[in-house]
Chains A and B, each alone.
Chain A
Amino acid sequence: MQAKKAVNSSSSVHRPVFDWSNVVLHLLLPLAGVLAALLIGALMLIILKANPVAAYEALINGAAGSVSGITQSLVKATPLLLVGLGICIAFRANVINIGGEGQIILGAIAATWFPLTFNTWPGWLLIPATLIFGFLAGAVWGFVPGILKARLHVNEILSTIMMNSIAQQFMYLLIRGPLMDPAGIAAGTFLAQSARIPQQATLPRLVPQTLLHAGAILAVVLAILVYFFLWRTTIGYRIRAVGLNPDASRYSGINVPFYQAFSMTLAGGFAGLAGAIEIMGVQHRLLDGITSGYGFTGIVAALLGGLHPLGLIPASILFGGLLVGANEMQRTVQVPSSLINAILGLIVLFVSGAALWSRRWAARRNMGVQNEEEKS
């Protein structure tokens, strides 16, 4: 599929860069997948004896019906965008990162421990330092499966899933042990959560009275930077070359294992950053369920965004809204929000299946271009 895409983009030399049929291909087909999944979701709602119209109305209202709904959707879109950026980078090198959950946890752990330890630092120093530390912690968690894939051909999907479970247990160990809130211990409640991070380490709010924090802007800026990184730098070019054709890349002197491991490390870093921002902007302390499944929902967003950093921005907002709406649906129609997880799974199935048509379409268009060239 990617090889065809490359041929396709080279043909755009002869054609205007903006191409409507591309829009149809990369926008309408995935959206049709989402729609199909939502329709099946409606069927499930009917089987569960809930009114699908009322349920989806609650979902849309919850996500976009109020200032608080919209800002919450953006708050949830932020980690999705960051995790998705990492998945895009890895996927471009043909490495699949399912380890978002674990990498988020590592970033969250780092972003809790660091400000609690250096709690006397001023905010202008503490905030960037914590963000970088969170990024690095996630990067380590991505580097391990990356280097195992590059050097020992260990299936990265399986290893990242295992790394998720290990990170989860590691976090339990910390919040029930060394990182447990001293206040909870003193009060005898022994809640499995850390202390609150110092006030100067929290991210500033963008809209007063809401949860929307500065991390959202950082995520969008990073999305644009990742776009330039992948398409305008040599390293980005090499990452994409490795993904498109590892053999050709090897013959042309690109260190394929290095770029595979490197892209996975970056992917881990971005997920780690998502975890750090979740601590610094939303939760302000480490507790169970810190990932909210963003590691998996981020995959769905990345797929729907066409594995493109800029396409990811609207896709993350869409899924952020879906997650917020699902909670509202649970409140008003009493349908468990896990329905959305099942729907997300269907979206992944449909979008990955629909790639066949976009592939065939691209192939047909390429043939058309070639014929035209032969004529001229």
Chain B
Amino acid sequence: MKEIIGVLKTMIPLAAPFLYAAIGETFAQTSGVVNLGVEGIMLLSAYGAFYVALNTGNLWLALLTAVIIGLLMGLLMSFISVTLKAEQGISGIGLYMFGYGMSSLLFETTIGTVKTINGFQPAKIPLLGDLPVVGQLLFQNSIPVYGAFLLVPIAWWVLNKTTLGLKIKSVGQNPAAADSLGINVDRIRYFSVCLGAILAGLAGATLSTAVVNLFQDNLTAGQGFIAVALVYFGGWSPIGVLGGALLFSFVNSLQLWMQVLGVKISSDVAVMLPYLMTIAALMFSVNRARQPAALNKPFERGES
């Protein structure tokens, strides 16, 4: 019983980076742009946030740094993919390589060794936090973790109940029609990609300042790519993404606990699990009916 609660308790914070990154990517993809650079944005922002937290001790400044890094990388990605209409699979990999390279470079030159910080502390919600089991699991987390879960209904509301959401969907489904109705396709796509990139930045910052409270080379180890896969798995819906994020963080948490408890399974095999699961998730989640029709297709006026 204690172990089950332990697994569930680590699972909640582990889901937060997935949620930020995957919901951000949901916005980008709903507008028709696949941003495969999420991993790179996460790495560089995780570094930036950690560096600021380490040197100033101000965690809010750390989050702000991550937001700025996310925004800048989002602008770069939009410029290449929307304005210059690049092949999105390739430009995303370029953004990843850039973010990874920069984070390694800056980590080596400015921090050097793996250090830890105190990071965001659990903030117990009054009353709810005192509930047995549930309170301990859900209402004794840090603020960035709460933020990640709050993001799910907010994103759902924005995408489904607002004019902005409708515009994002329309440029992802039929950019030519949206354009003829006077919607600025490029502007909506810039907005969606940048919003997604800012959230990817928060994902990185949450990881380095609220979940593991350290930075090391390749800290994210593929979580950004898994987050992109979660968007497919979740069928481009924030609620679906929530389900996927919980599933993956559960497996991650289980794997950590198995190592702690010394279950007789090779740790190498356990570490493979999330990656194998991602492929399985992609195999069984291809709900193509819900895929934005103009996904991965740059828009050019007067074409098609």
Contact = CB atoms under 8 A, between A and B. Distances in A.
Interface of A: 1, 44, 48, 96, 98, 148, 152-155, 157-159, 161-163, 165-166, 169-170, 172-173, 176, 296, 299-300, 303, 335-336, 338-349, 352-356
Interface string B77-120: 00110001111011111111111111011001100000000000
B229 interface: yes
Contacts of A352: 80, 84, 86-87, 90-91, 94
Residue in B90, B228, B278 with the greatest tally of chain A CB atoms within 10 Å: B90
B87 A154 contact: no
Contacts of A336: 104-105, 108-109
B8 interface: no
| Chain B interface helix/strand/loop/mixed | helix
B269 interface: yes
B101 A161 contact: no
Contact of A165 (B92, B109, B266, B272): B272
A169 B271 contact: yes
B196 to A, nearest CB: 16
B101 A348 contact: no
Tell me if A's interface is mostly helix, strand, loop or mixed. helix
B260 interface: no
B276 interface: yes
A48 B109 contact: yes
Given A353-B86, A356-B84, A342 B268 contact: no
Contact of A339 (B87, B99, B101): B101
A156 B245 CA distance: 21
Contacts of B86: 349, 352-353, 355-356
B40 interface: yes
Contact of A158 (B80, B229, B269): B229
B164 interface: no
Contacts of A342: 97-98, 100-102, 105
A354 B94 CA distance: 13
Contacts of B276: 162, 166
Nearest to B108: A336
B91 A158 contact: no
Nearest to B40: A345
Contacts of B229: 155, 158, 162
A124 B115 CA distance: 52
Given A336-B109, A356-B84, A356-B86, A159 B282 contact: yes
Given A154-B286, A170-B272, A341-B100, A162 B94 contact: no
B91 A353 contact: yes
A169 B102 CA distance: 25
B97 A296 contact: yes
Contact of A349 (B91, B104, B275): B91
Contacts of B266: 173
A308 B222 CA distance: 30
B215 interface: no
A289 B101 CA distance: 16
Given A157-B36, A356-B84, A356-B85, A173 B282 contact: no
A340 B97 CA distance: 10
Nearest to B270: A169
Contacts of A345: 40, 94-102
Contacts of B282: 148, 152, 154-155, 158-159
A161 B97 contact: no
A353 B89 CA distance: 12
Nearest to A156: B89
B268 A169 contact: yes
A3 to B, nearest CB: 11
Given A157-B89, A349-B76, A344 B101 contact: yes
Given A352-B87, A355-B87, A170 B268 contact: yes
Contacts of B80: 349, 352-353
B232 interface: yes
A340 B100 CA distance: 11
Contacts of B95: 345, 349
Interface in B136-163: none
B94 A347 contact: yes
B273 to A, nearest CB: 10
B2 interface: no
Contacts of B226: 162
B252 to A, nearest CB: 13
Contacts of A173: 266, 268-269
B232 A155 contact: yes
14 contacts: A148-B282, A158-B229, A165-B222, A169-B269, A296-B93, A336-B105, A338-B108, A340-B101, A342-B102, A347-B94, A349-B95, A352-B91, A353-B91, A355-B86
Contacts of A161: 222, 225
Contacts of A162: 222, 225-226, 229, 275-276, 278-279
B48 to A, nearest CB: 14
A167 to B, nearest CB: 10
Nearest to A148: B283
B261 interface: no
B104 A158 contact: no
A348 B109 contact: no
A63 B220 CA distance: 32
A349 B94 CA distance: 5
Contacts of A339: 101, 105
B279 A148 contact: yes
